[in-house]
Amino acid sequence: MDKIKVILDVDPGHDDMVAILLAAKHPRLDLRGITVVAGNQTLDKTVQNALRICTHAGIDVPVYAGMSRPLLRDQVVSTVHGESGLDGVELGPPARQVEEQHAVDFIIEEARKCHKELVLIPVGPLTNIAMALLKEPRIVEGIKEIVLMGGACGQGNITPSAEFNIFVDPEAAQIVFTSGLPVTMVGLDATNQAVVYPPVLERIRGIGSRVSKMVVDSMLAYGAAYKALGDWEGPVLHDPCAVAYVIDPSVLKVKKAWVDVETARGLTYGRTVCDYSETAGKPANAQVAVGIDHKKLWDLLIYALEQY
């Protein structure tokens, strides 16, 4: 079976770290590059985090710096991941440099090489993806699908209406959802179910490797931040859910929907409006994840971590 060609677009971020580890080692994926965007922290920090993760885990995949701010709105950063974006994780300095090519140009270049073969997996704000579509619209000819972590049909996590990744750059998200490309939205309706309960954490700890220890340390720090936010029994691994779906679509239950993004500045700014029943009179333009097969998700992750 041929490997799936993917670009992982990240803004590390504790859960981005696990998404990188999963994408880099699962044999089903051909990770062509890691592109980085501002989101959970500023671009300088998210790029350094990506490089440090790759150095610590021995991942030999090029890392590209992308957009440092949203298309139109003021920059927003997360508080959940701390001042560094990876608070609580002890990583040394990176042993490699970021690539000279801009992430947007790398996405365009890779899409030109493919014919409906490239899958984009953005798990941060969609600024890099939207800018690539704006700069070279013909890349749609090379992209098979966009599987994004972001959005919510129910309540958001940064405002009552909006999920963080979409809220950071709603205009970019609207460009992606209206691109005409197949889009799968892996949002909070599904990812909030991916809680790392103690038995899962113990499975990761039991691997006993340098990388598994990094994941455990990360989940303990990330989990403390989640507990401070409310009644959570552990951290939530949003971003790896999107990677897992590309590896094995049966990991997630999805429903077809028309999805658009609210770009008017107000209480619902950044909301993903989901219509499963054509109430708005518009055909579906996306699949929306609504449920998770927990066993498959954790088995995929454990398998990948055991490869390090």
Proportion of the chain above pLDDT 90, given as a percent: 83
For residues 206-215, average pLDDT: 95
- CATH number of residue 76's parent domain: 3.90.245.10
pLDDT for residue 82: 74
What would the pLDDT profile of 243-256 be if each residue is shown by its tens digit? 999 999 999 999 99
As to burial, measured by CB atoms within 10 angstroms (0-12 exposed, 13-18 middle, 19+ buried), residue 298 is buried
Confidence of residue 13 (pLDDT cuts 50, 70, 90): confident
Q: Which residues are catalytic?
A: 11
pLDDT for residue 291: 97
Strands 252-261 and 272-275: antiparallel
For residues 64-90, average pLDDT: 87
Range of the domain at 30: 4-305
**Average pLDDT of the chain, as a whole number:** 94
Whole-angstrom distance, CA of residue 176 vs CA of residue 170: 10
Which of 16-20, 94-98, 176-180, 184-188 is least confident? 94-98
Provide the whole-model pTM.
Answer: 0.97
Whole-angstrom distance, CA of residue 21 vs CA of residue 50: 11
Dihedral, CA of residue 51, residue 96, residue 139 and residue 11, to nearest 10: 10
Whole-angstrom distance, CA of residue 178 vs CA of residue 50: 29
pLDDT for residue 295: 96
Q: How many domains does the chain have?
A: 1
